[in-house]
Structures are given as C-alpha cells and as structure tokens.
Amino acid sequence: MTDRIAPTIASLRPCAEQHLSAYTDPSAGFAFGSYDRWYTPPIQLTPLDCLAANLLSLRLSHAEVIPLFQPGPSPATKLREAMQRVLDLVPADSDQSARAFLELDSIDDEAFQVLRKANELTADVRRWTAVTVCKVLHRLRPHFVPLYDSVLRGFYGTAKSRPADFFAVLLSDLKANQEWLGVLGKGRSGRPTIGSCRSSGSPTSSSGTTVGLGAWRASDMTIAEDIVGLLRQNPSGLTDAELARLTGKLHQQINQRCRVLAEQGWLVRDATPGVIVNRIITGPADPVVPNLGLAPASYPSDAAREWFWEGNVQSRLCGWLTQQGWSLTQVMNTASRQQGTDIEARRGSLRLHVEVKGYPSKSYADHRRSAETKPTQASTQAGHWYAHALLKVVRLRDANPRDNVAMAFPDFGRYRNLLAETRRSLAALHIDAFLVAEAGDVHRWSDR
C-alpha cells in the first residue's frame, strides 16, 4: 500500500503565475478589485465590514449582521467582541509591528488562539461559521487571518468540522513555499491602504498604489483559478474525473471545488449527458449572475417519447428558465433516474429548486412490454406522482427556507385539479408550480 502524497500548493507552481494574473485582472470580474480594499481605516469592526465579505460569495444579510451590533449580551455580541479582539491584538498590515500568520510558530500561538476562539463562538450564532469569520477578518487583517472556505479545505482534504486542522496544514505548506509565493504576490495591484505595507515591502498610499499580495492570498487565488483555467481551455466541458486526472487532485477535492465554483456562478454542472459535466460560463460577463445564453434546444428533448415524459418537461422548463435570466447550476438526468433535485438555478440573489414530474403513459416505456396496457389508470398514477413531488418540495422547503421552491408538471387537467385542491397549503409554504404545455409554453401556476 503506497503512502498518500500530501496536497501542497507547490503542485500548482507551474501554472500559478497564469492563474494569479487572471484572478487579479481588473476586467475579469473576480472580487480582487473590490474585496481586497480598505474603504475606511481597519480599526473598528463595522456592519459594513461584515457585509463587504459578501463579495467573496457569502450570503450575509441584515438579519445576520444587525444582532452583532445590538446592545446587551448575546451570543451574537460575544462573537463581535471576539472578532474585535483580533483587530485590537493584531495591528493593520501598514503597522511595522504587525504580526504575520507566517511568523507563527504554530496555530497554538496565543495571538492566533484569539481567532480560533472567535471561530468557536459561531456555533451559537445563526449563519455564522469559521468561514464567515475568516472572510470578514481577512479583508481587515490580510497578513494574519487566512481565508478559509470549502475550496481551500477541499484542496487540503481537511474536515469541515475541524478548521484548526486546515490552519495547521496551511501554515506548514505556506512556510515551505513562502519564498516563491512571496515573489509571485509582490507588485500586484491591490488595495488602497494607509502607510506602507509590511507584508510586501511595497510603498502604498490612500490613493491606491501598488500593494504586494501575501503568500496565503496568492495561494488562495491560484487554487481557485486552477479549475477555471482548464475549463476555459475545454469549452465543451470536463467531468470531475477528467479534472482530477488533469490536475493530479483527488476526485473528492475536484467535486468540492466545482460545487463552490458553480455556486459562485463561474461554471455550470450539467447532468443532462448522463454524467455531470463542468462547463465554464461564456455568456455576457456577470460573475455573480452569469447569462448562459442557451436556447431551449440546448437541452434536447427525447422525440421518441411523448411530450409529457418527465425528461421532455424538464428540457422545456430549462430552456424557459434561461430565457427568463436564470442560470442553471444543476440539471439531473431524469432518463437514468439520477438522484437529487431535478433543476437548481439562480438569478441574482434568488435561488430556485424544482422537482419535475411527467404524466403517466398508457403503455410501458420498455420496448419489450410496449404492446401491453398498464393496469393502473393514468389519472390515478398521476395522483401518486403528485404526492411524491409534493413530499419532495416540502422537504426542499424545510432545507432551503430562504429559497424559491417549485414543482413542474405537464399541463394536464388532472394536475391542475390537484394544484387547485392544495392551493392554500402551497401558498402557506410558498411553494410554486410550473405547467408545461404540449407546444412548449411554460406558465407559472401562481400567474393563473
């Protein structure tokens, strides 16, 4: 049995310059030109600092930020106080006395324990995690607080429940590669700061002159761009297995990283071919809400089956959604009965989960039984299918309380009647429905 080679940023050294140049290109649409800036002196943690971290794909709203700054003791205010202690203990990187992450002997260093304590306090605060804390504080103390998210965690293969393991591995790996990463990050155009930047040695001013990137930020950008670069070279798409082979990464690492990139709007994970294919988005540039520019024909129907077959209903709905400005992030292969939500999409801050059902055919799809007639009436079986879809979307509603959830059916009177019979419950649960006509037209049940 061979020993597993530990993941290291050194494996990306041959392509690091190319990836980092792409990420820091002001016209590329990445967060570098907005998140990596100070708009006020980074001394006191403010609500705007928390919301600014949304530029790195967080979804903090007023509901999660306001409680941190309310008077009186609470888990949220304790978290804010712990985050403020990090800012108080660690000077800004314009201060020559600022302690840097790479100067730590270990993550058990007293200064870093303050950050770890803040991470632990997120357990009692809604929608705050170690990822959230690090993305908020990294912008204010980039030389000391590393970024932490599922992409980086997936690269190093550490457990989600143990952020300390990630920090320990990261510290060791960055120290081993500090020299070339420092050279890589030096001289990149970045944040307008105050004074001089100790982490890079490059003079800066409030007018926004050159700042060097720290080794950890250069590392983060390089990993994030690795997959994107390969998909740009292969516009027809690559599977997770193909990406794993080309990058030399574990399949699990690639899967995690592609899911995050799809979540951020950089690629779409298309399951219609029968296996998930990752495709870079090449439509009009909006990194948060990409326009796929796909016509309905891009999601081929099965002409050998009736129009009301589930796969054909899903195909027509996908085409309609893209025309309405939705970006598809997941499309399951209904022909192979692939498990999961049939369609997932996003439009701006909105997210949509759709469960699709067809209408029962009078004959069997299996050609060996095509001459037989099904014993169950189609309307009876359609009732069972409606019940299955309803249970699925109720579960989706419970798992995604802030998102849009819907069912989709071919436009048959049986489904219209069932929707009418359950309309009050659907309205109470904020569950929508789409009806797809034989001609391909799509109507929302709520617009009836």
The pLDDT tens digits of the residues spanning 112-135 come to 999 999 999 999 998 899 999 999
Residue 220: Cβ within 10 Å count: 25
Helix 215-233, helix 13-24: angle, nearest 10: 90
Give residue-wise pLDDT tens across range 214-244: 555 555 555 556 787 788 777 778 888 888 8
Question: Does some domain include residue 237?
Answer: no
Please identify which residue in the block is written with the tokens 């649960």: 429
Low-confidence ranges of the chain (pLDDT < 70): 1-6, 28-29, 37-41, 93-99, 185-225, 253, 263-265, 272-274, 281-304, 333-338, 363-375, 446-448
Closest CA to 221 of 30, 423, 426, 434: 30
Please identify which residue in the block is written with the tokens 């995604």: 400
C-alpha 250/C-alpha 231 separation (Å) is: 17
Q: Are residues 214 and 359 in the same domain?
A: no
**pLDDT value of position 217:** 58
Q: Given its phi and psi angles, is residue 424 left (phi above 0), alpha (psi -120 to 50 degrees) or beta?
A: alpha
Q: What is the dihedral of CA 163, 54, 214, 221, to 10 degrees?
A: 90
The CATH number of whichever domain residue 398 belongs to comes to 3.40.1350.10
Q: Are residues 28 and 172 in the same domain?
A: yes
Q: Are residues 163 and 25 in the same domain?
A: yes
Q: Are residues 332 and 437 in the same domain?
A: yes
Question: Does some domain include residue 18?
Answer: yes
C-alpha 265/C-alpha 279 separation (Å) is: 11
DSSP string, 81-109: HHHHHHHHHS--TTSTTPPPGGG-SSTTS
Work out how many domains the chain is built from and give that number.
2
Helix 13-24, helix 178-185: angle, nearest 10: 30
Question: Does some domain include residue 277?
Answer: no
Q: Are residues 215 and 325 in the same domain?
A: no
Q: Are residues 162 and 28 in the same domain?
A: yes
Q: Are residues 334 and 220 in the same domain?
A: no
Closest CA to 266 of 22, 7, 443: 22
Q: Are residues 300 and 423 in the same domain?
A: yes
Decide: helix, strand or coil at residue 414: helix
DSSP string, 186-246: TT------SSB-TTT--B--TTT---PPPHHHHHHHHHHHHHHHHHHH-TT-EEHHHHHHH
Residue 122: Cβ within 10 Å count: 21
Q: Are residues 38 and 155 in the same domain?
A: yes
**pLDDT value of position 295:** 31
Decide: helix, strand or coil at residue 57: coil
**pLDDT value of position 320:** 86
Question: Does some domain include residue 423?
Answer: yes
Q: Are residues 43 and 167 in the same domain?
A: yes
Q: Are residues 176 and 296 in the same domain?
A: no
Last residue of a domain, one of 210, 225, 240: 225
Give the H/E segment covering residue 76: helix 75-89
**pLDDT value of position 207:** 30
Q: Are residues 296 and 220 in the same domain?
A: no
Question: Does some domain include residue 276?
Answer: no
Question: Does some domain include residue 245?
Answer: no
- Show the domain range for 308: 292-447
Question: Does some domain include residue 246?
Answer: no
pTM: 0.49
Residues whose CB falls within 8 Å of the CB of residue 439, separated by 6 or more in sequence, listed in order = none
**pLDDT value of position 297:** 31
Question: Does some domain include residue 265?
Answer: no
Structure tokens belonging to residue 383: 């009732």
